[in-house]
Amino acid sequence: MAFAPYMTAALSGATRRQLSHWRRTDGSSGAVLVPEVSAFRPILYSFRDVVALRTCVFLRKDSSLQRIRRAIANLRSLGELDHLSEYKLVSDNDSIVLVKDESAVDLVKRSGQYVMAEMSEVLRPFVNKSNIEIPALFRPRDRIAVSPEIRSGHPVIAGTRVPYEKVAELLQDGVPMESVHDYYPAVDAAAAQDAYEFAQYVDIWRDQRRQQGAA
């Protein structure tokens, strides 16, 4: 499964403009993240990209983009060349630190400073710099699930393989929530409601294409 920019934005919390900006190099600094699937139109991101971008959005609450770029550049200079999603990066409002194997390396200012933070903070709901609440990555709604093991991470009705948008489209076409199970027996009215609400949330990020230009 490859993620289009609008879905990448919805799951990571990065705006369409940020996605475009973060793909570009900045002087001597490299790109924050180059899409793993396709860096050329059509732009397509991987699930690992979504996790990495979510980390960047989480860091962006307390750190400047320049600091994040510097931290990534220093991470690479240390020989850490794996995908960015493989690393636990945390901010202490003054620097960005790589936490690894119960030790930490400051990537911006003070070498060796230890900061304890769990990767789960990035995966749980948080409010981004634009004051938008970004839902939990693996459970963006109570009955909507995201798992790389199911449809390669595309959001589905929890406990099924039914894509959320298929259910949302039924409601948009006038099918009552109570009747969705006639089409998808495993989907009850509550799950249909969550699918509809999540589709509305995703549309916020999809509409950024018209508001900000194509990413």
Range of the domain at 174: 138-215
pLDDT of residue 211: 52
- The mean pLDDT value of the chain amounts to 87
Q: Are strands 88-91 and 96-100 parallel, antiparallel or unpaired?
A: antiparallel
Q: Highest mean pLDDT range out of 44-48, 96-100, 101-105?
A: 44-48
DSSP states along 105-144: EESSSSTT------THHHHS-EE-TTSPEEPPSS-SBTTE
pLDDT at 81 over 80: yes
Please report whether residue 11 resides in a domain: no
Q: Pick from 35, 151, 42: which is nearest to 85 by CA?
A: 35
Residue 117 confidence (pLDDT) above 60:
no
What is the pLDDT at residue 130? 86
What pLDDT score does 137 carry? 93
Percent of the chain, pLDDT > 90? 62
* Segment 93-113 mean pLDDT: 72
Q: Is residue 101 part of a domain?
A: no
Q: Are 83 and 36 in contact (CB under 8 A)?
A: yes
Mean pLDDT within 200-206: 93
pLDDT tens-digit series, residues 56-71: 999 998 888 888 998 9
Q: What is the pLDDT of residues 3-35, one digit of tens each?
A: 999 999 999 999 999 999 999 876 666 789 999
Please check the confidence at residue 175 and state whether its pLDDT lies above 60. yes
Tell me, yes or no, whether 181 lies in a domain. yes
pLDDT (0 to 100) of residue 209: 58
Cα gap 145→24, rounded to integer Å: 31
In a domain, 41, yes or no: no
Q: How high is the pLDDT of residue 39?
A: 93
190: in domain: yes
Q: Are 107 and 80 in contact (CB under 8 A)?
A: no
Domain CATH code at residue 163: 1.10.10.10
In a domain, 176, yes or no: yes
Q: Is residue 199 part of a domain?
A: yes
**Which two three-digit tokens encode residue 55?**
């980390």
When pLDDT is cut at 50, 70 and 90, the band that residue 112 belongs to is: very low
113 part of a folded domain: no
8 Å CB contact between 87 and 100: yes
Backbone angles phi, psi at 127, to 5 degrees: -100, 125
Number of domains in the chain: 1
pLDDT score, position 100: 76
